[in-house]
Amino acid sequence: MLRFISGRLLKAVVILICITVLNFFLIHAAPGDPAAVMAGEAGDADPAFLQQLRERFGLDKPLYMQLWIYVSSVVQLDLGYSYRQQLPVLQLIGERLPATLLLSLSAFVISLGLGVAAGAFASARQGKWADTIISLVALIFYATPLFWLALMGVLLFSVQLGWLPGFGYETVGANYTGLARAIDIFMHLILPAMTLGLFFMAVYARMTRASMLEVGRLDFVKTAKAKGLRPGVIQRRHVLRNALLPVVTLAGLQAGQLVGGAVLIETVFAWPGIGRLMFDALSQRDYNLLLGVFVVSAAMVLLFNLITDVLYRLVDPRIKVTS
Amino acid sequence: MKDFWKRFSQNRGAVVGLVILLLVVILSIVAPFIFTKSPWAMVQRPFIPPFTMDAFVLGTDPMGRDLAAGLAHGARVSLLVGLVSTVVSLLIGIPIGAIAGYFGGWVDDLLMRFTEFFQSVPSFALAVVLVAIFQPSIYSIVISIAVVSWPPVARLLRGEVMSLRSREFVEAAVLSGQTHSTIIWRQILPNTISPIIVLASMMVAAAILIESSLSFLGLGDRNIMSWGYIIGAGRTVIRQAWWVSFFPGLAILLTVLALNLVGEGLNDALNPRLARKGR
């Protein structure tokens, strides 16, 4: 297991370095002086600062030297400086990362848990009305624009019903501490995490349903039936466990979309995470910050992939995890 | 064709989807004739609620623009962006997948690592970065959607081509001395059309969602009225004027739903054996 994880980590590092290279070429492909792009001032940056950037990143040297300087500074976790916010990019991201991790991990757990449960429930009642309703709801959520679902959630649960707070991470000025603060944050988390989770719940429900129906037709399930096992036991112990494999694979593939969805959700709910930071960077043309957020969100996706890879090996009945 | 329609129409959802889709297509075609004024024109006082004035069925937005006109004109933008960006991503994904699957070996390894790389990058974040850096315009939007959408095409094509590569008619073509490109174009690609069509219909749906998300974030083309833009513009006034954000979102939902349903119907109709197995 340890060897497996370290292999995956190595692969993740290689991908991150490739993304850094991609970033470098993006900066150079953008219209205008790369120093101006990095400064994010679209040409009106302080000339002294531009000169400083040119020297630091060797922008007068040949392209391959520039690439080397850029990549090696990112590898040393130097994501540059946000001229607009007057702070290092890494520090800005570091302050916002916990909120994004909280949001996307909650959404991930909600969507996978509810999605698998709904899909399994539907497949056990194939063709009955419960199956039809679950499939229909999943189909609709699968087609719903995330940001719109979020807005409608705010409109219904926050503006109309007044049940849940519609924006922010905690009540500003309330100065809660300890448990009261945790509850406050939890209340703020419900709407964003649910909206982000619902879309992916639909994906996993559809996949679980299809996959369980497919596994249910295999020979070993017939054997289990012939042995006289109760249907519930067959569904849980034999069918679900095998049917989960493609779902877990899909969950890994969807991780990227989950992080991307967080950008939209955080924008709607004013959730102080890196997605919101990305939106601010966009409106201020702060490219260095934008690219920094991009690298960190890619790292998050790789982390999610690692989690699902480990999950896969734990779920897969064909692989015995030996300690 | 008769068989095709018979199998397609057996899927009731697909027929419903096709009807919705046709309505959206018709709306996008007749939009300039019904709403002759620019959708940007301020035609009435702002914040007219929907269904209160016959001339402005869906009401007006905070700038006094006709919401119905914006929706009708936005339909064309959504469909066109969805369609064109899907075509572009097919143009990227098909050659990569076909070459990887046909030649195998190190070529396959190299191209698949390249594809995997694009799959492990957060796609929406990459689209945002691309549009922001190359400045928002209809072209940069289409290109960035294509750049983040092609990997599934390449993977699908690679798998299809690999299994076709070992079939007898391809081996016969190799023995008869046809060039690689002739074999790929004449023998292999025509056999991959049905799965590509199914995937493409779902990709148009996904592309419409990405376009609306980009426009919502303010990364849309400033000269083009799109559904995502209207939702973004209505967002700040959602407490006073829910309808400004509500209707365009519903339009996106219905269009995307229709495309997905049609995709499933196409799958049933074009891959009958697979579809029966999946029931």
Which two tokens mark A318?
Answer: 């064909």
The model's confidence at residue B272, banded by pLDDT at 50, 70 and 90, is low
The model's confidence at residue A320, banded by pLDDT at 50, 70 and 90, is low
Which two tokens mark A296?
Answer: 């960190």
How many Cβ pairs closer than 8 A exist between chain A and B? Answer: 135
When CB atoms are compared, the residue of A144, A253, A294 closest to B119 is A253
Query: Where would I find the beta strands (DSSP E) of chain A?
Result: 81-82, 87-88
Nearest Cα residue in chain A from B216:
A147
Residue A323 scores a pLDDT above 50: no
Nearest Cα residue in chain B from A217:
B277
Query: Rounded to an integer, what distance in angstroms lies between the CA atom of residue A261 and that of residue B190?
Result: 36
Residue B279 scores a pLDDT above 60: no
Asked if A124 is an interface residue toward chain B (Cβ–Cβ < 8 A), one would say: no
Residue A135 scores a pLDDT above 70: yes
Find which of A13-27, A36-50, A270-284, B92-106 is predicted with most confidence, using mean pLDDT: B92-106
When CB atoms are compared, the residue of B124, B216, B239 closest to A159 is B239
Residue B86 scores a pLDDT above 60: yes
CB atoms B213 and A257 under 8 Å: no
Euclidean distance between the first and final Cα of chain B, in Å? 23
Q: Which residues of A touch B126 (CB under 8 A)?
A: 294
Out of A313-322, B40-49, B101-110, B158-167, which region has the weakest mean confidence (pLDDT)? A313-322
Measured from the Cβ of residue B74, the count of other Cβ atoms closer than 10 Å reads: 27
**Percent of the residues in chain A that have a pLDDT greater than 90, as a whole number:** 2
Residue B160: exposed, middle, or buried by beta-carbon count in 10 A (0-12, 13-18, 19+)? buried
Give the minimum alpha-carbon distance from A178 to chain B in angstroms, rounded to a whole number: 33
**Percent of the residues in chain B that have a pLDDT greater than 90, as a whole number:** 34
Window 45-104 of A: residues touching B by CB (8 A cutoff) are none
What are the distances in angstroms from CA A267 to CA A83, A151, A300, B111, B216? 22, 10, 18, 36, 10
List Cβ neighbours of A250 (8 Å cut-off, separation of 6 or more). Answer: A203, A204, A207
When CB atoms are compared, the residue of A214, A268, A297 closest to B122 is A297
CB atoms A294 and B216 under 8 Å: no
pLDDT tens track for B8-39: 888 888 899 999 999 999 988 888 888 777 77
CA B271 from chain centre, in angstroms, equals 21
pLDDT tens track for A107-125: 988 888 898 888 888 887 7
List Cβ neighbours of A86 (8 Å cut-off, separation of 6 or more). Answer: none
pLDDT tens track for A199-237: 888 888 888 888 888 877 778 877 887 887 777 777 777
pLDDT tens track for B90-117: 999 999 999 999 998 899 999 998 998 8
Query: Rounded to an integer, what distance in angstroms lies between the CA atom of residue B237 and that of residue B245?
Result: 9
pLDDT at A129: 84
